[in-house]
Amino acid sequence: MARNGERDDPPRGLSRRAFLRGGAAAGVLGTGLLRGVPPAEPAAAAKTGAGAPIVGPGPVPMNFRINGKAVSARLEPRVTLLDALRTRFELTGAKKVCDRGTCGACTVLLGGKAVYACSILAIDAQDAEVETVESLGSVEKLHPLQAAFVENDAQQCGFCTPGFVVAAKALLDRNPAPTLAEVHHGLSGNFCRCGTYAGIRQAVLQVAQAAAADPGFAPGLPGAPGVKARKREDEAVDPGEKRKKKKKKRKGGGRHGRR
């Protein structure tokens, strides 16, 4: 029967009867295959030049350990760790801001190391523990770093804050008593467009100071005791300058000296 004006004639040079016979024979062969005639060997799984199996592009099963829990999902291999966390595991603490490894808003810990979750494929994050800001504290019981951020006015819009808190945790884990310069350097992979850097650095120094003052204080444990806020970095005085001022004061000189 013709469809759309096109004919479905048998191929040229073949009678209608011969064409139908051929079709029937092919049908019988196909049925034979279905009835258990062994099929041809399946094609071997594709491999890379280095011999690693190629997976995807469709979803493949993946297993993770996130915030102490074993979880799994079927994801396309192209999915980033950040998208997996936010869209599959409903962990939205890590923020998607630049999505290209520049701002640090998506910082999480992978095997204890601070990484940009937007720049790591989920499939590559299966072998190490993933820790997000959600693992640190809760609204009821803030982590000391989170409490120190609040105390030191270390956020405005708050978009960069989870990334900074996680980066600060990684810094204090590897260097519990950082200097101001080390805090600068340790947090240099995170940007705050609201410019709350002074408060952030002060919060980190405050927690480090509390940990040093109290041997039972552990920055990794929620609810650890805090200490009184120290002077903000922008108010901090150089120790040499401090000594000079004291000397002047003793002599009765200086702007605020006794007259």
> What is the C-alpha separation between 22 and 1, in angstroms, rounded?
19
Provide the minimum distance between the beta carbon of 130 and ligand FES in the complex, in angstroms, as a whole number: 15
Closer to ligand FES by Cβ: residue 136 or 192:
192
Provide the minimum distance between the beta carbon of 62 and ligand FES in the complex, in angstroms, as a whole number: 20
Rg (CA), the chain: 32
Closer to ligand FES by Cβ: residue 105 or 211:
105
Provide the minimum distance between the beta carbon of 27 and ligand FES in the complex, in angstroms, as a whole number: 57
> What is the C-alpha separation between 149 and 144, in angstroms, rounded?
9
In the 8-state DSSP scheme, what is residue 126?
Answer: S
Closer to ligand FES by Cβ: residue 187 or 224:
187
Closer to ligand FES by Cβ: residue 146 or 161:
161
Provide the minimum distance between the beta carbon of 39 and ligand FES in the complex, in angstroms, as a whole number: 47
- Residue numbers of the site for ligand FES (CB under 6 A)? 96-99, 101-106, 116, 118, 155-161, 192-194, 196
Closer to ligand FES by Cβ: residue 160 or 170:
160
Contacts 24+ apart (CB under 8 A), 51-60: 55/123, 60/123
Provide the minimum distance between the beta carbon of 192 and ligand FES in the complex, in angstroms, as a whole number: 3
Structure tokens at 116: 């940009």
State the Cα torsion 152-158-159-164 to the nearest 10°.
Answer: 20
* DSSP sequence for 197-246: HHHHHHHHHHHHHHHHH-TT--TTSTT---------GGG---HHHHHHHH
